[in-house]
């Protein structure tokens, strides 16, 4: 281990009590964006806190949006700038009766801090600030420019993120963006994500008679439930093949370097199946190997029914032909698919195969995002995380989900990666009762970010 890595660890451990107390103060604020609770006071707390750690800070605003807390620590000798993204809002605490302690009065049990937002995202966010404080303590300076962008609307879908990035484009100018809104791997290894899928949503509604009709009329009256079934069946067949023309043409295979990363990701088919209580994995027959499954997970575009709704859904029976039927779907797009073009293809395909009375509402589109493993920020992060954890990081060339990553590249020209800190999200009860972050996980996050800032600067 390098001297500096060692110094960072010692400094963080020395400040352990202070750092835990800092997080406690943050966790006590009920910053629930869905209920617009204590958002202003949380933003002000965060601003003042950053200033106390040696980071210049101010509040950014857009009409009708919750405030963003901006921070910066600049070094006039540095020619590199990193933007750190996080969020200070949290999910509602419901159902409150399932919590073993007050969600807004943090408590340590078994060396874990229990509170809403412990790891998603307050613990992780705080680590990115205290990492600066740590470097300043040790070296008196940071070797790069660091900018912080903490929004208050992540848990309600970041409706104004795009507008904020556009409005404050100049202020936020950076080389790379690091999102710290994910956890470490279940195995205890840290994680890096180099991209994610694009996404959009659609509500498809098929209409029949103007009201529900007695089902005795079934031989003559069109049934929108059946028509929806037939339409959906034409969109994806029972081999899970998407049938929309040209939909898959743009999909690329993983590169050699991506494949190398995939082989280093722990993935146990049985464990995966047990976690979700399923007795088979789609396509398991043709792809039994863990890497093949990961390739499917990350490189396949998807078309997913999120919900179906039609007619009578209660107890017993009602002999009706429903007057309408709705399917809610999401579509995930992989690099290099153009989601906007794909939406047009879906629409045109449906109009080709379906002749009934239909209404299709597409939601906003988010583009896929992807950074090469060869980018300097990725290489630096791998080295730093390998020193700070027992094992090197799990590096995901892509995330199976979607998110705003692409916006940072598109608007700021600061391509984004995700660094997973804190506790494993799947084990830390994120969005659920008894959310927690391991004390050691929290401290490891501070050490890791500190060392990433330093190493990335060293590389200049």
Q: Which of residues 383-412 bind a copy of itself (CB under 8 A)?
A: 399-402
Residue 18, classified by CB atoms within 10 Å of its CB into exposed (0-12), middle (13-18) or buried (19+), is exposed
**DSSP 8-state class, residue 259:** H
* Residues of span 150-209 touching a copy of itself by CB under 8 A: 197, 199, 201, 208-209
Smaller CB separation from a copy of itself, 80 or 332: 332
Name the minimum Å distance from CB 421 to a copy of itself: 20
Q: What angle do CA 268, 399, 370 make, to 5 degrees?
A: 135
Task: Provide the CA 431 distance to its chain's centre, in angstroms.
Answer: 13
* Min separation Cβ 297 and a copy of itself, Å: 5
Q: Is 226 in the site for a copy of itself (CB under 8 A)?
A: yes
| Beta strand residue intervals within 96-190, DSSP E | 107-109, 112-114, 145-151, 176-179
Closest separation in Å from C-beta 192 to a copy of itself: 17
Among candidates 259, 270, 249, which has minimal Cα distance to 292?
259
Quote the radius of gyration of the chain (alpha carbons, Å): 24
* Residue 446 binding a copy of itself, by CB under 8 A: no
Cβ at position 405, least distance to a copy of itself in Å: 13
Per CB under 8 A, 350 contacts a copy of itself = no
- 10 Å CB burial of residue 84 (0-12, 13-18, 19+) is buried
Residue of 107, 250, 300, 459 interacting with a copy of itself (CB under 8 A) = 300
Find the part of the chain contacting a copy of itself (CB under 8 A) among 12-20, 115-123, 166-174, 292-300: 292-300
50 exposure class (CB count in 10 Å sphere: 0-12, 13-18, 19+): buried
Q: Report the alpha-carbon angle 458-459-460, nearest 5.
A: 95
Instruction: Give yes or no for residue 230 binding a copy of itself (CB under 8 A).
Output: yes
Report the nearest approach of a copy of itself to the CB of residue 323 (Å): 9
Answer for which of 4, 34, 136, 221 binds a copy of itself (CB under 8 A) is: 221
Between residues 228 and 449, which has the closer beta carbon with respect to a copy of itself? 228
Residues 246-285 that bind a copy of itself (CB under 8 A): 272, 276-283
**309 lies in the binding site for a copy of itself (CB under 8 A):** yes
């Amino acid at each position: 281990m390098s001297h500096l890595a060692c110094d960072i660890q010692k400094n963080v451990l020395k400040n352990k009590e202070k750092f835990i107390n800092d997080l406690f103060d943050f966790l006590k604020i009920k910053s629930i964006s869905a209920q617009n609770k204590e958002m202003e006071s949380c933003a002000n707390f965060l601003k003042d806190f950053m200033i106390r750690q040696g980071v210049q800070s101010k509040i950014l605003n857009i009409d009708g949006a919750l405030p963003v807390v901006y921070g910066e620590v600049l070094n006039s000798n540095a020619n590199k700038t990193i933007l750190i993204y996080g969020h200070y809002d949290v999910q509602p605490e419901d159902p409150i009766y399932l919590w073993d302690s007050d969600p807004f009065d943090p408590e340590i049990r078994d060396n874990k801090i229990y509170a809403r937002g412990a790891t998603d995202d307050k613990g992780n966010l705080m680590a990115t600030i205290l990492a600066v404080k740590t470097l300043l303590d040790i070296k008196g300076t940071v070797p790069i420019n660091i900018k912080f962008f903490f929004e208050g609307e992540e848990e309600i879908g970041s409706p104004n993120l795009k507008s904020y990035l556009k409005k404050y484009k100049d202020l936020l100018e950076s080389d790379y963006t690091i999102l710290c809104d994910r956890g470490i791997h279940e195995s205890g290894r840290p994680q890096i994500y180099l991209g994610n899928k694009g996404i959009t949503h659609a509500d498809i509604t098929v209409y029949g008679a103007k009201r529900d009709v007695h089902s005795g009329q079934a031989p003559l009256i069109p049934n929108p439930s059946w028509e929806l079934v037939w339409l959906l069946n034409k969109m994806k067949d029972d081999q899970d093949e998407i049938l929309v023309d040209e939909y898959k043409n743009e999909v690329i295979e993983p590169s050699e370097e991506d494949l190398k990363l995939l082989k280093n990701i722990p993935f146990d088919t049985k464990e995966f199946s047990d976690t979700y209580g399923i007795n088979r994995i789609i396509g398991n027959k043709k792809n039994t190997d863990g890497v093949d499954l990961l390739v499917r997970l990350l490189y396949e575009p998807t078309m997913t029914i999120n919900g179906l709704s039609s007619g009578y859904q209660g107890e017993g029976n009602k002999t009706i032909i429903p007057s309408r039927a709705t399917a809610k779907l999401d579509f995930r797009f992989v690099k290099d698919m153009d989601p906007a073009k794909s939406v047009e293809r879906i629409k045109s395909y449906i109009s080709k195969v379906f002749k009934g009375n239909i209404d299709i509402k597409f939601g906003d589109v988010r583009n896929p995002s992807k950074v090469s493993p060869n980018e300097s920020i990725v290489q630096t992060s791998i080295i730093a995380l390998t020193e700070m954890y027992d094992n090197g990081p799990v590096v995901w060339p892509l995330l199976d989900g979607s998110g705003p990553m692409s916006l940072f590249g598109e608007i700021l020209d600061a391509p984004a990666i995700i660094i997973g800190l804190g506790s494993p999200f799947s084990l830390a009860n994120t969005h659920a009762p008894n959310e927690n972050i391991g004390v050691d996980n929290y401290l490891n996050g501070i050490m890791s970010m500190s060392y990433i800032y330093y190493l990335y600067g060293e590389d200049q």
